[in-house]
Amino acid sequence: MLSVSASGQRTTTEQKKEKFITELMKKMTIEEKVAQLNLITPTAGTGPFKTRRATEKLQDGTAANVLSMRGTPQRIHERAAYAENTRLKIPYLLALDIIHGYKTIFPIPLGLSCTWDTLLIEKTARIAAVEATAMGYHQTYSPMVDISRDPRWGRVMEGSGEDPYLGSLIARAMVKGYQGDDLSDETSLLACVKHFALYGAAEAGRDYNTVDMSRQTMYQYYLPPYKAAIDAGAGSIMTSFNDIEGIPATANRWLLTDLLRDEWGFEGFVVSDYNCVQELIPHGVAANYKEAVRKAIDAGLDMDMASEGYTTFLKELVEEGTVTEKQVDVACRRVLEVKYDLGLFNDPYKNYDPGKAERVTLTKESKDIARSAAAKSMVLLKNENETLPLKTNMKLALIGPLIDDQYEMFSMWSPDGKADSVVTILEGIRQQNYDLVSAEGTFLTDEPGYLRNFGYYDEDEQREKVGQALKLTESADVIVAVLGESRNVSGEAKSMTNISLPRCQRELLKQLKATGKPVVLVLLNGRPLTLTDDLQFADAVLVAWRPGTMAGVALADVLFGKYNPSGKLTMTFPRSVGQIPVYYNHKNTGRPFKDGERGTFKSRYLDEMNSPLFPFGFGLSYTTFNYSEISLSDTLLAGENEKLLVNVELSNTGKYAGEETVQLYLSDAVASIVRPVKELKKFEKVFLQPGETKQVQFLIKPEDLKFYNHDLNWDWESGEFVVYVGTNSRDVKSATFVWTK
């Protein structure tokens, strides 16, 4: 993490750091250097074991970094102070998985990405940093920037969807939010970008599985968000579980050295994911643990998470001459440099204050932002007959197993969230109703509409539960059914082959619709679902994801029209699992097929349409928006210095004020390699009052036309281009221009 002046010279601060670390390392033994590369975990993590004798290892100096040390600020401080018992008193680095909030829990990252609001996302990361650093943590294993096109993979909930452009903007925003402008600031939380690399493309959507793709696909679609996060200043990066071109990421020198350091210039440290070094053995690229350690250090892995292979074998490998001490020194220096940048050598406890955590946690400001983030993340998929927003004088039947469950508003990645701070869906709707009208005539219930288990149930008991739910709807004007996934079926090691609603939920939904009353389906989910057969049984469908601390009030804001939904999908919803992978920026084929066309020998299914159920960028509003035809400043351009202005008029033609995310896509009609049918290049969020019209203008430069060609050169080619502007990747206006070099 070196800084240089405009003239390219090292700054005085950088020289001071280098001198300090050089002098420190002269005093260090090989054992002390290796200890800096050892990350232990005193509690069970996402792997097969936890560290034995963790306290002893911290006290004797054989471990210098800790994952998942939990407790009160005082207890964390006491453990961090174990470093005072070591010979050189080098401070520990304390890390934790802080994914979508620490104590104040925001929507899952996939939900946050649907806001298309990078400033808001940055604010959520900043709040997480403030809360976590007050407890004593220095590093978070976030952002997860893996591009994914397969909703069967449980970890899609942890990322930002399928698009590299939007994913890159969000990656930058999160790094900036976590780290701030100065790593030494007491509220700065070191970002760790993961999982490097390509983890979101695991075959069959099965976690930890292999990845196989061309380098052109890597560079064009999957690598950009990692690069964006690094360019934003991320100080650490985590390797992925998968192999790349036959070599696991943790032992892949091309990935960790040639690409990451030599090509991209990354200067922070690289940490393995949980136990990845040892897992080189079952991967089949190392015959034993010792060989696995050698391959990892040779590849450029600086820090070993959980497996303790480095502390077991590195010294021995150096003594044998198989690994040089210089290799250990390089890795050790990288870790020490980050600790220096964090200010830990000046203040090992980052201005420890046992009362600070309580003062900065779950503040009114953080909860207000959580409420706004949850509302903005929700995506309206259907709204027939203006079922939504609900009228406050309606009698409302609220049905579902999770409507009064605080913990279920979280995800797998919010173990430190305070469940008792959550406003449940039941409570949030009660508050909203009572705030707007008197309680008289308002019908609410917290009776579950079906058994809480997912797919396995006693049919007699199920019939009884459904009967109870139907009875509760008798005096209601409208039914709100809150269904979807449990938090236990999305996240790490939560891959699924069936991503539809469970059978018991589908039966309930059918019977609710059969009452003849309007049905609003609210989905709690961590991934896109296959809803093709279920849409007919709901008049309105709202995706709420896993909304976090302020779940209930945010959902009530949307249902009752206090907030007009503006969320747009960042991951395609398939019609069926058989379509997967399905994504908007696919390539054309020699025999392209569009739904509704005739033709047997085309690239199509016999039993399903090619198009998805809901495309990337899709999301309805309570109002309606009209797009004019596209106006271009020119249609014939030449040279690198030209600029193209793309104009469209957006009008609010409905009766509610609302915000629309205007999306611009480009298509390269003819190129030296097959190009995608379209790619997101720009977007702008526009707020309009009813009847209001605004001109939206985008600036296109040659940089926006560039792509990685067959030789992996980032360049553009002369030719014809199509620009699309619209409300999602499918429903767009188009115009054509020619640009030559």
Q: Which domains does the chain have, with CATH numbers?
A: 30-356 (3.20.20.300), 379-559 (3.40.50.1700), 623-740 (2.60.40.10)
Residue 486, C-beta contacts closer than 8 angstroms, at least 6 positions apart: 402, 408, 452, 454
Could you report the per-residue pLDDT of 428-460, keeping only the tens digit for each? 988 876 432 222 233 444 444 333 444 445 667
Contact yes or no for 175/191 (Cβ under 8 A)? yes
Q: Which residue has the higher pLDDT, 444 or 483?
A: 483
Q: What sign has the CA pseudo-torsion 74, 79, 82, 88?
A: negative
Compute the average pLDDT of residues 226-250.
98
Q: How many residues does the chain have?
A: 741
Please report the pLDDT score of residue 402 as a whole number.
Answer: 85
Q: What pLDDT does 435 receive? A: 35
Q: Is the pLDDT of residue 333 over 50?
A: yes
Q: Is the peptide bond before 195 cis (omega within 30 degrees of 0)?
A: yes
Range 616-639 average pLDDT: 98
DSSP 219: I
The dihedrals phi and psi of 507, each to the nearest 5 degrees, come to: -65, -40
Chain centroid, CA 16 distance in Å: 37
3-class SS at 104? coil
**Per-residue tokens: 28:** 């260090």
The catalytic residues are 273
State which H helix or E strand residue 39 sits in.
Answer: strand 38-40
Say yes or no to pLDDT of 506 above 60: yes
Q: Which range, of 26-30, 323-327, 482-486, 642-646, averages the lowest pLDDT?
A: 482-486
475 and 441 Cβ atoms separated by less than 8 Å: no
Contact 722, 666 (CB under 8 A): yes
Cα–Cα dist 629/620, whole Å: 20
Beta bridge partners of 305: 39
In angstroms, the CA 704 to CA 723 distance is 11
Tell me the H-state helices in 437-582.
459-472, 503-513, 551-559
Whole-angstrom distance, CA of residue 375 vs CA of residue 428: 12
DSSP-derived 3-state class of residue 537: helix
Contacts of residue 587, defined as CB under 8 A and 6 or more positions apart, other chains included, come to 674, 675, 676, 677
Residue type, 682: K
d(CA 243, CA 248): 4
CA distance 9 to 3: 9
Q: Which phi-psi region, left, alpha or beta, contains residue 205 (left: φ > 0; alpha: ψ -120 to 50)?
A: left
Count of alpha carbons within 13 angstroms of residue 213, beta-carbon side: 19
Segment 505-532 shows an average pLDDT of 95
Give me the amino acid identity at 413.
W
**What's the pLDDT at 449?**
38
Specify whether the CB–CB gap between 210 and 202 falls below 8 A: yes
The confidence score (pLDDT) of residue 437 equals 27
For the segment 570-593, the average pLDDT, to the nearest whole number, is 96
Task: Tell me if residue 733 falls in helix, strand or coil.
Answer: strand
Residue 455: strand, helix, or coil: coil
Whole-number Å distance between alpha carbons of 117 and 125: 13
Checking if the pLDDT of 108 tops 90, the result is yes
What are the tokens at 397?
């039947």
Amino acid at 434: Y
**Exposure of 320 by Cβ count < 10 A (0-12 exposed, 13-18 middle, 19+ buried)?**
exposed
Residues 353-393: tens digit of each pLDDT = 999 999 999 999 999 999 999 999 999 999 999 999 998 88
Write out the DSSP string of 608-647.
Answer: S-SS-SB-TT--B-SS-EEEPPPEES-SEEESTT--EEEE
**Residues 309/289, Cβ–Cβ less than 8 Å:** yes
Mean pLDDT of the chain: 93
Which CA distances in Å does 547 have to 104, 229, 416?
Answer: 11, 25, 15
CA 351 to chain CA centroid, nearest Å:
30
Peptide linkage before 143 cis (omega within 30 of 0): yes
The pTM for the full model equals 0.95
Give me 242's structure tokens.
Answer: 């998968």
Q: Which helix (H) or strand (E) holds 577?
A: none
CB 100 within 8 A of CB 113: no
Give which of 89, 318, 119, 94 is closest to 192, Cα–Cα. 94
Q: Which of 450, 455, 459, 452 is nearest to 503 (CA)?
A: 455
Q: Is the per-residue pLDDT at 533 higher than 90?
A: yes
Q: Which whole-number Å values give the CA distances from 240 to 167, 231, 290, 303, in the listed order?
A: 18, 20, 20, 13
141: left (phi over 0), alpha (psi -120 to 50) or beta: beta
Cross-strand pairs, 684: 662
User: Phi and psi for 723 in degrees, rounded to 5?
Assistant: -105, 135
Q: What is the pLDDT of residues 628-677, one digit of tens each?
A: 999 999 999 999 999 999 999 999 999 999 999 999 999 999 999 999 99
Per-residue pLDDT averaged across 265-287, rounded? 98
Structure token digits, residue 687: 């707020």
How far apart, in whole angstroms, are the C-alpha atoms of residue 712 and residue 347?
45
DSSP 165-198: HHHHHHHHHHHHHHHTT-TTSTT--EEEEEEETT
- pLDDT for the residue numbered 697: 98
pLDDT per residue over 276-285, tens digit each? 999 999 999 9
Contact yes or no for 309/250 (Cβ under 8 A): no
Q: Which two tokens stand for residue 462?
A: 């199920």
Q: How much is the pLDDT for 396?
A: 87
Short-list 100, 114, 143, CA closest to 571: 114
The tokens for 688 are 């309009």
DSSP lists the bridge partners of residue 194 as 144
Confidence of residue 8 (pLDDT cuts 50, 70, 90): low
Matching residue, tokens 């090691």: 493
Identify whether 540 is preceded by a cis peptide bond (ω within 30 of 0). no
The pLDDT score that the predictor gives to residue 412 is: 94
Token pair listed for 427? 């409570």
Q: Is there a contact between 121 and 173 (Cβ–Cβ < 8 Å)?
A: yes
What separation, in Å, do the N-terminal and C-terminal C-alpha atoms of the chain show? 38
CB atoms within 10 A of CB 544: 26
